[in-house]
Chains A and B, each alone.
Chain A
Amino acid sequence: DTEVTQTPKHLVMGMTNKKSLKCEQHMGHRAMYWYKQKAKKPPELMFVYSYEKLSINESVPSRFSPECPNSSLLNLHLHALQPEDSALYLCASSQKNWGGEQFFGPGTRLTVL
């Protein structure tokens, strides 16, 4: 199994909702990442799980909350999002804790109404 899976594929939520995005990898990779990608822009790093700890991009609003239940799962909890948070949310993993190739999941297309 050489893939990163993400659920759901699509999500529509209101600004008062709480939802979660899930990401799983079965490759025994040591690091996992959450990215946000707006249309015609490159991916922007939000969170990194490596060296068995979560690192946060300080520019990411607190309405996004990562959780790493174990080394193969990385969740992203969403609360009180804004319409400008609508984007493609990508999960990736890499074999090394840092450096090396990152492999992306198919993404979750999020729409905030």
Chain B
Amino acid sequence: QKEVEQNSGPLSVPEGAIASLNCTYSDRGSQSFFWYRQYSGKSPELIMFIYSNGDKEDGRFTAQLNKASQYVSLLIRDSQPSDSATYLCAVDGNNRLAFGKGNQVVVIP
């Protein structure tokens, strides 16, 4: 089992809709969880981090963490064309940050 899994394929959402991204992790001892946004050809940009079970909201973004089920999700409300990017889930563990393979989001105007 991979450390961090993002299994969904490219996600196409209409402008204004909600984009939902999921991520599961294998290390039960992980304490910190991150979502990065990466535009094509650019570096990853940290958009959300969450350490406690439950929801954390920041503007149009909501991160959800369920440690018992070992998953973390990201919701993007009122999706905009500028949200079109690859979203990387990252989890701390084994003295390093483990990344999922990423999910591409395409927002259709």
Contact = CB atoms under 8 A, between A and B. Distances in A.
B31 A99 contact: yes
Given A42-B88, A88-B43, A107-B43, A102 B97 contact: yes
Interface stretch (B64-72, B77-85, B99-107): B99-107
B32 interface: yes
B44 A99 contact: no
Nearest to B48: A101
Contacts of B92: 98-99
> Interface residue tally of chain A, by bracket?
20 to 34
Which of A41, A43, A55, A109 is the most central at the interface, judged by chain B CB atoms within 10 Å of its CB? A43
Tell me whether chain A's interface is mostly helix, strand or loop, or mixed. loop
A81 interface: no
Which of B44, B49, B102 is the most central at the interface, judged by chain A CB atoms within 10 Å of its CB? B44
B46 A42 contact: no
A103 interface: yes
9 A-B pairs with the lowest CB-CB distances in the bound complex, closest first: A42-B99, A104-B43, A107-B43, A104-B44, A45-B96, A106-B43, A101-B49, A99-B92, A99-B32
Given A42-B100, A42-B102, A104-B44, 13 more contacts: A40-B102, A42-B101, A48-B95, A90-B44, A99-B31, A99-B92, A101-B46, A102-B34, A102-B90, A104-B36, A105-B43, A106-B43, A109-B41
10 contacts: A42-B102, A43-B99, A88-B43, A98-B92, A99-B31, A100-B32, A101-B46, A102-B97, A104-B36, A104-B44
Interface of B: 31-32, 34, 36, 41-46, 49, 88, 90, 92, 95-97, 99-102
